[in-house]
Chains A and B, each alone.
Chain A
Amino acid sequence: MIRVVLPYHLRNMAMVEGDVTLDVDSPPTLRSVLDALEDRFPVLRGTIRDHDTLRRRPFLRFFACAKDYSLDPPETPLPEPVAAGVEPFLIVGAIAGG
């Protein structure tokens, strides 16, 4: 069970409160977690990754166990504490005003 923390506005769009929990085949990767997230919440497609290129939207970043995974390739396995559901996978929006 993977725990995913979404930014505030995406939690509202997905109509969830708190962490999202997902079943993902082991070992979980950046891509498999995001695929599972979008399968369960189609409304989030296009909001985290581009529809076609699957590139991360530029103002979002991915963190796990205090490490920045934003620039890692999609096949990158996530650390064991995330795979075990002990630590969450964080999707974080850039802090910017306006």
Chain B
Amino acid sequence: MSGVRVLVGTRKGAFTLTADGTRDRWEVSGPHFAGWEIYHLKGCASDPNRIYASQSSGWFGQVLQRSDDGGKTWTPPGGGVTKSPEGFPMGESNRFVYDTSPETGKPLTTHMWYDGTQHPWEFKRVWHLEPSLHDPDTVYAGVEDAALFRSTDGGHTWHELSGLRGHESGPSWQPGAGGMGLHTILLDPTRPNRIFVAISAAGVFRTDDGGQTWTPANRGLNSQFMPDPNAEVGHCVHRIALHPSRPDTLYMQKHWDVMRTDDAGGNWREVSGNLPSDFGFPIDVHAHEPETVYVVPIKSDSEHYPPEGKLRVYRSKTGGGEWEPLTEGLPQRDCYVNVLRDAMCVDALDPCGVYFGTTGGQVYGSRDGGDHWTPIVRDLPPVLSVEVQELP
């Protein structure tokens, strides 16, 4: 591989950070879509030039953007041609319509609102984009209010996989403080029909038939704030991650507790061990070592910043339970930033690179698996997401 491209979504635009395989010197490009919230960008494993971006605005709603040249130019996909004869973009790709019942024409279900009443499902934004591992034109979108959509035409048209929202537990799902978003989509590299998703304040769900039917995968989770702490759904899962060589093992950062399952979500057990706080948002797995896991603890659900003002990534090389702080190159005093759920990732180079972005606008990178860190760029808008592509 010749290098890497780090894709950064922020409150006010998108940035791309590019380096050769040494990951020593970085070129920063952006802002793209200046002034817009970019919730998430994700590049295709099967085509490094193809990137999808979720562009969102309180004024103008959701827009999907696509790049076919590695982030240099962007277009809302669709229309067959990208520009009219007059040079205007013809794309139209922001139509996310919830599936309806053929009998009634009404939404499949309602879900629970903050006040305990039922509330109709309303599309707000795309939280996460997950391209297929093999086909650059197939991409999944996790949206708020929680639902899973799929496009098979490069992001032009979107169709809901409504079996998820139609699960019998759907009416009991309720939003967390940040909304009810479907924020994690994991595609099993060994089983094409298996997908894991995680939904804020609902939990993890798994399909083994490509998205038609779904099963909650939350056994073993314990959430003391719930009326039934061990309920099948309702757990506030912040992020889940898996290693491609061992996809039955998943790790979870939950609203309190770091968890692990070795049977594809059949049973979870806590692996928080000696972490200074088991509250946090991101979690990821080393590219080559499925027992090496990273989290960024923050003090509590009320104080979304690192304990003692020391920004530390914690690494476990034993699949959880035993954790070591990684501090070299990270601020160890007066640091009160947060790292959001989609704002940490790893590359597949050797040694493995690890990257994360903060709400203070820094993007840090390590090219030795977390032993040493350097700021790639500072003073960006608050970082919402960080993803990486390996370049051939």
Identify the A interface with B (CB < 8 A): 7, 9-10, 13-16, 40-43, 45-48, 51-52, 57, 59-60, 93-94, 96
Please tell me if the beta carbons of B89 and A14 are within 8 angstroms of each other in the complex: yes
B-side interface mostly:
loop
Q: Interface segment, B52-60, B220-228, B267-275, B371-379?
A: B52-60
Residues of chain B contacted by A14 (CB below 8 angstroms)? 88-89
Q: Does A47 lie within 8 Å of B90, measured CB to CB? A: no
Say yes or no: A13 contacts B95, CB within 8 Å: no
Please determine whether B60 and A10 come into contact, CB atoms closer than 8 angstroms. Answer: yes
Mind listing 5 A-B residue pairs with CB under 8 Å? Answer: A46-B94, A47-B61, A51-B95, A52-B97, A93-B60
Inside 8 A of B89's CB, which chain A residues have their CB? 13-15, 41, 43
Are A9's CB and B60's CB within 8 A?
Answer: yes
Residues in B81-96 with C-beta less than 8 Å from chain A: 84, 87-92, 94-95
Q: Does B161 contact A (CB under 8 A)?
A: no
**Using a Cβ cutoff of 8 Å, how many contacts connect chains A and B?**
63
B59: chain A residues within 8 A (beta carbon):
7, 9, 57, 59-60, 93-94
Q: 9 closest pairs, A vs B, by CB?
A: A47-B60, A42-B92, A59-B59, A46-B94, A93-B59, A43-B89, A51-B95, A43-B76, A45-B92
Query: Which B residue's beta carbon lies closest to that of A38?
Result: B92
What residues of chain B lie closer than 8 Å to A15, measured between beta carbons?
87-89
The CA-CA distance from A74 to B92 in the complex, in Å, is: 23
B120 part of interface (Cβ distance < 8 Å):
no
Interface membership of B36, Cβ < 8 A? yes
The interface of chain B, by Cβ under 8 A from chain A, is 35-36, 57-63, 76, 78-79, 84, 87-92, 94-95, 97
Closest chain A residue to B87, Cβ basis? A15
Q: In the complex the two chains form, what is the Cα distance from A20 to B92 in whole Å?
A: 19
Question: Contacts of A94 on B, CB cut-off 8 Å?
Answer: 59
The chain B residue with its CB closest to the CB of A96 is B58
Asked whether A46 lies within 8 Å of B88 as measured between CB atoms, the reply is no
Decide: A42 and B90 in contact? CB cutoff 8 A. yes
Q: Which of chain A's residues have a CB closer than 8 A to the CB of B84?
A: 40
The distance from the CB of A85 to the nearest CB of chain B, in whole angstroms, is 19
B34 nearest CB neighbor, chain A only: A12
Report if A9-B57 is in contact (Cβ < 8 Å); known contacts: A14-B89, A45-B94. Answer: yes
Q: Are B95 and A46 in contact (CB under 8 A)?
A: yes
Tell me the minimal C-beta distance from B62 to chain A in angstroms.
7
CA of A7 to CA of B57, assembled, Å: 13
Task: Determine which residue in A43, A45, A60 has the highest number of CB atoms from chain B within 10 A of its CB, and name it.
Answer: A43
Residues of A within 8 A of B95 (CB): 45-46, 51
* B36 in complex: contacting residue of A9, A41, A59, CB < 8 Å: A9
- B94 pairs with A47, CB closer than 8 A: yes
CB distance from B24 to the nearest CB of A (A): 35
